[in-house]
Structure 1
Amino acid sequence: GNVFVVSLAFADLVVALYPYPLVLSAILHNGWTLSDMHCKVSGFVMGLSVIGSIFNITGIAINRYCYICHSFAYDKLYSSRNTLLYVCLIWALTIIAIVPNFFVGSLQYDSRVYSCTFAQTVSSYYTISVVVVHFIVPITVVSFCYLRIWILVIQVRRRVKTEVKPRLKPSDFRNFLTMFVVFVLFAICWAPLNLIGLAVAIRPQVIAPKVPEWLFVVSYFMAYFNSCLNAIIYGLLNQNFRKEYKRIIMSLWTPRLFFQETSKGGTEGMKSKPSPALNNNDQMKTDTL
């Protein structure tokens, strides 16, 4: 399951490498000063990050659903080979979902947000399909998966299913809670922009002029602010991430200590089986739900 988390982290990180510096340049120059090619590529990479994020969040939800609710079939469904295939499928679908933008001509510079982004008014049918396929359908799938998990959690807490022993250790529950918060914040951050896009697509000539510029700008930056939230969520809810964050920050002051700990960790890793990245400390496993 951690492979999906790494894939999600890549989706969040990719916007910082190319689109965001160009947005900053446009803000400083009060307009787009680069070529149209840079504009198109910037919009493409931005879309790669956005759609990659929601598809990876969907993949994580399905993975957690299978792990907790169908634990007996999990190892077969999510072997190492199958998991890598699933991640490749996620990114293949992401690229396929973005390519039509080049044919529709919807990647344009928007002076309101200083970005080359998806233009909601280019094609009503395409905008509706984008909102449905890239937001409503994934949100529905993820909601179903987490609803089923929550039902099982409640049943386990109430000891309703005493004859069933689901794979739900305390550490598993904390990991599920972390990814659930990731999903909730994603939905909150992206819902306003998608709802505006859907309303504009249904009646573009009537709704588009009535959307306040400040509302669009706020919804836009709420959406793209989501890319930096996941790392914060991991740090707040997962002790292993907090420990590593602290080690990385300390290494900025004492680089030698960082390399010493890395070398020590590598030696210890050869002696024992490493624990999953999202698991909390071993002592937490003795807790009860």
Structure 2
Amino acid sequence: MNFTEELGILEEEDEFYELSTLELIIWCLLYAIIAAMAIIGNSMVLYITIFRIRVKSITTYFILNLGFADLFTGIFAIPFKFQAALFQEWYLPSCLCHIVPYVETVALTVSVFTLVTSAVHEFRTIFFAKYAQMSEKSAKIWVLLIWFMSITVSIPHGLFHSVHEFENGTVVQCLPVYAEENWWKIYNVYLTIIQYFVPMIILDTAYTMIAVKIWTMSRRIDVDTSNQKLMRVLIIVVACFSLCWFPLETYLLLNEVKPEINEWKYINLLFFFSHWLAMSNSCLNPIIYYVYNEKYSEEYRRIFAKICYFATIRPKVKKIERRWNEKLDKEPETTEQHVPLNGVL
């Protein structure tokens, strides 16, 4: 999937705003930054959660699920997708034309379903504490179910994409291949609704009620402060997700139901910004954990301290070793001499 396919543009390229070389460089840097932050940040979150904190709770499984989904986005979707959108040509191997749109769709669906499941769990914990809560076994089953549903509903994006050559083979693009145009349009509208708009209604409703409940409980002396902090982190995660994905999901929906929006001259700039903002969400969760979670913040500082230690100490050690070796090389070789016995030869 690339910019041409998503915008549905069939007109000549000179009718739309063309990016200058400087603008292309800026966009490349912006995409490279969020890709690096997503890969490094989510790798640290997964390492800290699995090997350092080691707390087996319901929320832990959801954090791991979000971490894996965002990591896949940083590895597969961001680095490969942006070049097709910016340069309007597919320079990558043909097999990636199936993998990139599929992984991006799966990662987004996993993130959304994980947030919804987490919201339902927290809602039940706050409002129906007397009833049986989700167990660790149930959380694992839900995680597997989330991946199964995400992989299933995203299959068309992996199957119905192929590399096409235009203009006598000089331009190669990754485009969807479908027998019925109306079917593809219905599928994209359906996917946009279940990936964003319906989940956002559930998330916003659930966390609004949770926030009101916690604010009411905060007036009591026996309120659990850790519960408040957890809710605050989850609400911020959902808010960032909603804001980051809203422009792109709105455009994708309008692109199917009102394709004339693509006739606007600067629609490509709007798409670049919307897509970059959506992709940037994959690197925000590690930052949120660092700012609002004491355990993650402590582990982050520990990792950064180790990195700084090795970055400063190792060069110094190597420098000392190099000086010592140079000193040994400069010293003249001495022949072995026998010490006279009692001063007499």
Same fold (TM over 0.5): yes
**Residue pair 1:178, 1:234 contacting (<8 A) in 2 also:** yes
Alignment of 1:1-289 (within 5 A): 1-23=59-81, 31-73=89-131, 76-102=132-158, 105=160, 123-158=184-219, 169-204=224-259, 206-210=260-264, 212-254=267-309
TM-superposed deviation, 1:63? 1.7
Pick 1 or 2: higher relative contact order, CA cutoff 8 A, min separation 6.
2
Change (3 A) 1:149 1:28: closer
1:61-105 deviation line (CA, Å, top 9, x unaligned) = 1121122222222xx3311211111111111111112013245x3
TM-superposed deviation, 1:29? 8.4
Return the alpha-carbon distance in structure 2 between the equivalents of residues 108 and 227 of structure 1: 27
Deviates more, 1:77-86 or 1:221-230: 77-86
User: Per the alignment, in what secondary structure is the counterpart of residue 92 of structure 2?
Assistant: coil
Matched residue pairs, number? Answer: 241
TM-superposed deviation, 1:254? 3.8
TM-superposed deviation, 1:11? 0.8
1:3-58 deviation line (CA, Å, top 9, x unaligned) = 11111111111123333343477699884222222111111111121111111111
Q: Which amino acid aligns with 1:245?
A: Y
**Residue pair 1:189, 1:223 contacting (<8 A) in 2 also:** yes
Return the alpha-carbon distance in structure 1 between the equivalents of residues 213 and 125 of structure 2: 12
Return the alpha-carbon distance in structure 2 between the equivalents of residues 118 and 152 of structure 1: 47
Return the alpha-carbon distance in structure 1 between the equivalents of residues 107 and 244 of structure 2: 15
Change (3 A) 1:138 1:27: closer
TM-superposed deviation, 1:137? 1.1
Return the alpha-carbon distance in structure 2 between the equivalents of residues 16 and 27 of structure 1: 16
Larger Rg: 2
Structure 2: which 5+ residue stretches go unaligned? 1-58, 165-172, 311-345
Return the alpha-carbon distance in structure 2 between the equivalents of residues 118 and 10 of structure 1: 26
Q: Which amino acid aligns with 1:96?
A: T
Q: Which amino acid aligns with 1:229?
A: L
TM-superposed deviation, 1:126? 2.0
TM-score relative to the length of structure 1:
0.73
1:116-144 deviation line (CA, Å, top 9, x unaligned) = 6989x983322211111111111111112
Change (3 A) 1:101 1:127: same
Q: Where does residue 259 of structure 1 map in the other structure? A: none
Q: Which amino acid aligns with 2:215?
A: I
Q: Which amino acid aligns with 1:57?
A: L
Identity, in percent, stands at 25
**Residue pair 1:106, 1:118 contacting (<8 A) in 2 also:** yes
Q: Which amino acid aligns with 2:151?
A: I
TM-score relative to the length of structure 2:
0.62
**Residue pair 2:94, 2:162 contacting (<8 A) in 1 also:** no
Return the alpha-carbon distance in structure 2 between the equivalents of residues 31 and 156 of structure 1: 56
Return the alpha-carbon distance in structure 2 between the equivalents of residues 6 and 91 of structure 1: 13
